[in-house]
Homo-oligomer: A and B are copies of this chain.
């Protein structure tokens, strides 16, 4: 007998029929003798409907009241799923965030879980009931309802799994696992059986938005085995774990992530003196523009070139800030482009394998793709290239690093 925490997102519970399908899936785990705690999101569209109501009253509604409002979305789902389980003969009991003893700090709309008093849930599990918990919500020390921010239901699932010492936290979603890259770009992309938390974090932050980053961090911290599966079809999904793959064929590269909506700004010929980086970046961050990559080349003739990337939506704002600053900075020129993208190779195997970078650059060179900027971390290499080469680059790298699914196996 195992204890599973299963989380179903908004699409998985988007209609009454889908809620009934989730009930059937939960029943199959109960029938197999397991204990199940289910965490659910609001039915898809419901959170946006509620936010729409608030926005029609105020441009900046009180965060405390926003939490009172939007937390009703998950409360509706827990009641309906509980009814659906009872109807098919599975004893179930719903818990709102406060009923589940989920205590958070008091930062409304992006609260963090501090503690879970799981006694109430444990008592129901011991009585053979399925426990259904509203995701994304809790209470602070003053009994105010809080929410964890959008997508926070994943975090609720992981936190409950940690508190209840569950055998596995299963995140059900509309894809059947984590892929080596986006299958829409590379039809031969392969579902990974396993991936490490570190790799998943790099993949997630780079655009493979299967899981909330925070929930992956949380699962890694508490060593909760996390599995991503499809709500709509059977299969093993992808296990996210602390173990590095121990097989002999340990792949160097886990996957390839990419991000389309990039733009870069380059400041050329600025005097290479201490503080120049902050003089360039502080005005940008003061304008609430998030900077992604930052590259400073080696100095020549006492001046240096400084490049950073931003989201494409912020490009013209960032460019005009730097153009205004140019003379003050003593820069030779400020230029930029917004038709670029970022491609990143991620893999813990990189640590022990030399030559990943050179193989990557050679693969791109063979395709005549020019690299505009490079950054690296211990388990990741990112390059900026012209956006028009994105698909070509990802497919070439996917093949070169032997990530392609073997077509013969598919038959």
Contacts and interface: CB of A to CB of B under 8 A. Distances in A.
A118 to B, nearest CB: 15
Q: List the number of copies, as a whole number.
A: 2
Interface string A207-249: 0000000000000000000000000000000000000000000
A80 B57 contact: yes
A50 interface: yes
A50 B145 CA distance: 21
Interface string A332-358: 000000000000000000000000000
Contact of A80 (B20, B69, B145): B69
Interface string A275-305: 0000000000000000000000000000000
A72 interface: yes
Interface string A41-80: 0000000001001101110011011101101100110111
Interface stretch (A83-91, A187-195, A316-324): A83-91
Contact of A57 (B87, B94, B96): B87
A83 B58 contact: yes
B86 A58 contact: yes
Contacts of A98: 98
Contacts of A72: 72, 75-76
B79 A68 contact: yes
A82 interface: yes
A26 interface: no
Given A57-B83, A66-B79, 12 more contacts: A16-B57, A19-B57, A61-B86, A64-B93, A65-B80, A65-B83, A65-B86, A68-B75, A68-B82, A69-B80, A72-B75, A120-B143
28 contacts: A16-B56, A16-B57, A19-B57, A53-B80, A54-B80, A54-B83, A57-B83, A58-B83, A58-B86, A58-B87, A61-B83, A61-B86, A62-B82, A62-B83, A62-B86, A64-B93, A65-B79, A65-B94, A68-B78, A68-B79, A68-B82, A68-B94, A69-B76, A69-B79, A75-B75, A98-B98, A99-B143, A120-B143
